[in-house]
Amino acid sequence: MLLLDADRPEPVRGGARELAVFLTPEPGAEIRSDTSQILEENIPLLKAKVVEMRGIYAKVDQLEAFVKMVRRHVSFLEAHVLRAERDHGALSQTLRKWLGSSGLPALGNTLSWVPRAP
């Protein structure tokens, strides 16, 4: 018959317990492992997206500069048109009145004669 000492744990059982403690990861170790794996997979993708977005931002900056330039040119041309209208406004009003009194259709208007359907 096999006698067991009450103060001493059974050797197989103690070995199993030690093995279980050894194989059981410390709390949070699995989460750190998963996080590390996710970061290792996603960081290169994120870096590629950053490079892509920098290119897009550069294009947006170029478009903004173009719009700014066009806005300046349009303002310049509008000022010239207003000045020309002011300088030649009296002449154009006289010309329009003269053309209107002569019986000719006004420039830019559609034809007043419309063919009828048979």
Would you say residue 83 lies in a domain?
A: yes
Q: What is the mean pLDDT of the chain?
A: 75
In a domain? residue 52? yes
Let me know if residue 12 belongs to a domain. no
Is position 73 within any domain?
yes
HSE on the CB side for 42, CA within 13 Å?
6
Q: Tokens in use for 56?
A: 């897009």
Domain assignment present for 40 = yes
Q: Tell me the C-alpha distance between 36 and 26, whole Å.
A: 16
Give the per-residue pLDDT at 58: 97
**Domain tally for the chain?**
1
Question: What's the confidence (pLDDT) of residue 49?
Answer: 94
In the predicted model, is pLDDT for residue 109 greater than 80? no
Given this model, what pLDDT does residue 111 score? Answer: 47
**Residue 84: which domain range?**
25-99
Q: Is residue 115 part of a domain?
A: no
Give the tens place of pLDDT for each residue, 16-74: 667 666 666 676 666 667 788 888 888 999 999 999 999 999 999 999 999 999 999 99
**Quick check: is 1 in a domain?**
no
